[in-house]
Chain A
């Protein structure tokens, strides 16, 4: 029997500082990893432990994987000390993915904030790899302040893409920082959307409070419950629907999620907590 706790060794071949607290590790696993965008991996730092992260590269890239990580706890402290050439481990992929065939021929809206932009970058890059399948892609990204914006280099290219509308907002612009795009929580960008809400899908990923208000706003605009896809990231540990850290009522975020249609979980208690 294949041991489901076994990790695939991987080497860090690049490290990129995205913002003061966020960096992207570029990994080369010993064997290619097949994942579907939206699924997550367990990243091992040997001797430190394991934690769940979602790849931020296209799922068409199988021999390499980027993972964008914010320095925020015990494990990520070590992630931020990691150097090129260090060995780490990967286990997965786990969970559900974004349903790309439901996005086919549609005007897709992607709403994301903060660290939620990491999995959305994977989705976005996967979409761009087959961009002809989709009518249009609107990507609305929120960050705390200009210096917290991630994927700065790529953003310029995204803005020019003919099929893409890419807008950014920051919550605040501290004195001395430059910003010529929108200011406010990410949902202020929704007014820029020209999409017909009744017949098109939307994806939301970000901190719990943003997910909640983002979803409420989309519903108000006329989006259908079954067309809103939420990335309900929790504290996923085992990835097999066993250890119970990520449960939401009768669902495991690691197994039945993390990508849920809002219609599926709307009646569960305390989903935004």
Chain B
């Protein structure tokens, strides 16, 4: 484990930005997001969690799949430099791994034909993710519900802890090992540093509320299919889809053409299962025309369907949906209500 003194942070970041497209938390509050930076001054080192997750870089809200003019079709080029992400919280690092299962591997069943999304892979495969331990989880955080924790080392290529005077960094993956090997001139973390990590970890964990067991929820969900609770829960949902757009693991997308017959672009844009037209077929038939069906679909996908395929939930407990929902629909409350619901099997 190496130690980057805060007094050296500026130089560290400067050097990093020479070799990588360096992304880090920028901006405050609702304007905060992961953006490309050139120096340490641009980085918001105090932010607990950014409004937008790193998903917006790997799976952009809109991206050009190709441009066409006449018979010519041109795809987008691969980024010139690999990306380095500084300061990703463990929930977001895990989210990227979950997205990679869908976009990078997409094999829902053993006998499925493998599918790899070239746009995703061009960005994600070479990227280095530095997971920064969460010293002060927010009141909306619930990573402990779905197997996470503020100091989790389960995802990312590097793991770092911010102490009073330094960042302590250790590798988590082969990519991370190679990165650390390439660094020189940094001290190794002392025993005292390691003790301070243990203290910070304990304190961070104390901020979290007791966890609801996601696996119990998964087992319960099939029985709740007809439960009137879905009417109650969805009654206040306005189908705005803010929860999905802000979610680090939601990946529904739409494909649209922009332009004219002889010249234009085919673009991929985020879409959301909360929109009534998401499933509406050309005939007018709509498999999920009611809000109840759509809210149920979203919750079931997060906590049941994804689990049935990949063995874990598609929620990392980042709490962003809890923060942005305009009608205070709190997924944690929904989960608790579902667990308590007296649904007949």
Contact = CB atoms under 8 A, between A and B. Distances in A.
B257 A49 contact: yes
A113 B222 CA distance: 32
Contacts of A262: none
A198 interface: no
Given A4-B118, A50-B255, A256 B271 contact: no
A51 B254 CA distance: 11
Interface of B: 65-66, 68, 71, 73, 75, 102-103, 106, 108-109, 112-113, 115-118, 121, 222, 225, 251-257, 259-264, 266, 268, 271, 273, 278-285, 287-288, 293, 297, 300-301, 305, 308-309
Contact of A242 (B66, B115, B283, B305): B115
30 contacts: A3-B66, A4-B117, A6-B66, A7-B73, A46-B68, A46-B261, A47-B257, A47-B262, A48-B257, A49-B257, A50-B266, A74-B282, A75-B282, A87-B71, A235-B279, A238-B255, A242-B103, A242-B106, A245-B252, A245-B254, A247-B301, A248-B287, A249-B300, A249-B305, A250-B308, A250-B309, A255-B112, A255-B113, A269-B222, A269-B225
Contact of A256 (B108, B300, B301): B108
B282 A72 contact: yes
Q: Which of A5, A249, A252 has the most CB of B within 10 A?
A: A5
A144 interface: no
Contact of B282 (A7, A44, A76, A242): A76
A165 interface: no
A1 interface: yes
B257 A241 contact: no
Interface string A1-33: 101111101000000000000000000000000
Q: Which 8 A-B pairs have the closest CB atoms?
A: A73-B282, A47-B261, A240-B115, A244-B252, A72-B282, A273-B287, A49-B257, A47-B260
A70 B285 CA distance: 14
B73 A6 contact: yes
Contacts of B118: 1, 3-4
A208 interface: yes
Nearest to A246: B279
A205 B31 CA distance: 50
Nearest to A75: B282
Nearest to A69: B282
Interface in A45-73: 46-51, 70, 72-73
A237 B287 contact: no
Given A50-B255, A249-B300, A269-B225, 20 more contacts: A1-B118, A44-B257, A47-B264, A72-B282, A72-B284, A207-B285, A234-B279, A237-B254, A237-B255, A241-B112, A242-B102, A242-B106, A242-B251, A244-B251, A245-B279, A249-B305, A250-B305, A250-B309, A252-B108, A273-B293
Contacts of A44: 257
Interface of A: 1, 3-7, 9, 44, 46-51, 70, 72-76, 87, 115, 207-208, 234-235, 237-238, 240-245, 247-250, 252, 255-256, 269-270, 273
Q: Interface on chain A toward B: helix, strand, loop, or mixed SS? A: loop
Q: Which of B115, B121, B259, B262 has the most CB of A within 10 A?
A: B115
Contacts of B225: 269
A235 B108 contact: no
Nearest to A4: B115
B308 A245 contact: no
Contact of B271 (A1, A9, A243, A247): A243
A256 B271 CA distance: 22
B223 to A, nearest CB: 11
Contacts of B121: 1
Contacts of A75: 282
Contacts of A46: 68, 257, 261-262, 264
B266 A5 contact: yes
Contacts of A3: 65-66, 75, 118
Q: Which of B118, B256, B259, B282 has the most CB of A within 10 A?
A: B282
Contacts of A242: 102-103, 106, 115, 117, 251, 253
B313 to A, nearest CB: 14
Contacts of B262: 46-47
A255 B114 CA distance: 11
B307 to A, nearest CB: 9
Contact of A273 (B251, B280, B288): B288
Contacts of A255: 108, 112-113
A108 B222 CA distance: 36
A243 B252 contact: yes
B49 to A, nearest CB: 25
A218 B117 CA distance: 40
Contact of B280 (A207, A235, A249, A250): A235
